[in-house]
Amino acid sequence: MAASRNTGVRAARAAANRARMLAAARDLFIAHGYTATTMKAIAEQAGMAVQTLYFTFATKRAILSELLDVEIAGDTEPVATLDRPWVAEALAAAPAEQIRLQVAAAGQILARVTPLLEVVRSAAATDPEIAELWRTNISQRHTVQLRLAEALAGKTALRAGVDAARAADIALAVLAPETYHLLVHERGWSPDAWERWAADALTRQLLPDAPAPEGRAG
């Protein structure tokens, strides 16, 4: 019993130390950029020995990659985005409600991860490894949007000229972190204003127009 308790204490301590290192790296990456942030600086910010940091993560890229996973998920649970409860709720909803739910979920995710994705996007211009991380992130976002678009197309006819593949591309653009960063961080929109705009944009772009009320056509 004592051995089991000690194991649990050690695991909790290791998880807490890992979280401290990730938080320190996030702060430094956002403040100074990926390239300018050193492993030594992360260790000092976290109050850890640099050897401990290397033992835990091995490379700075590994820290950034794990940070992205945690920020996107909002937790450290090993559950893929498509297996998250909000996706199941959106898939089960009526078309307009599905769009509202996926935009709301995207807003929550982007509020957490956009500053870090800006770090990745900037570093990708000069670092091939980070460029690959950026491409992977885009691919993962597209996979999620394609699954949602296919579900939407299975519930209703889409706007003329739009199939599931085109719908996924449109959602990928509207819900892009670059767009969120531009409107919320650069132009000063509130997250609620962004959410209303994104839901309206996707509804107009993906769903057919509602028929005009009887007696008012033309």
All structural domains of the chain: 1-58 (1.10.10.60), 64-206 (1.10.357)
Residue 149 has pLDDT above 50, yes or no: yes
How many Å apart are CA 150 and CA 101, to the nearest integer?
Answer: 15
pLDDT of residue 64: 96
Across the range 177-202, mean pLDDT stands at: 98
Residues 6+ apart with CB under 8 A from 43: 21, 24, 49, 50, 52, 53
pLDDT of residue 93: 98
Whole-model pTM: value is: 0.87
pLDDT of residue 100: 98
Whose structure tokens read 């006819």? 157
pLDDT of residue 218: 44
Whose structure tokens read 């719908």? 167
- What confidence tens digit (pLDDT) does each residue in 4-35 have? 666 777 778 888 999 999 999 999 999 999 99
Higher pLDDT, 195 or 216: 195
Backbone φ, ψ for residue 28 (5° rounding)? -75, -40
Higher pLDDT, 11 or 66: 66
Confidence of residue 178 (pLDDT cuts 50, 70, 90): very high
Percent pLDDT > 70 in the chain is: 93
CB neighbour burial string for 196-208, b if at least 16 within 10 angstroms, e if fewer? eebbebbeebbbe
- Mean pLDDT of the chain, nearest integer: 93
Choose among 50, 42, 49, 51: nearest CA to 21. 42
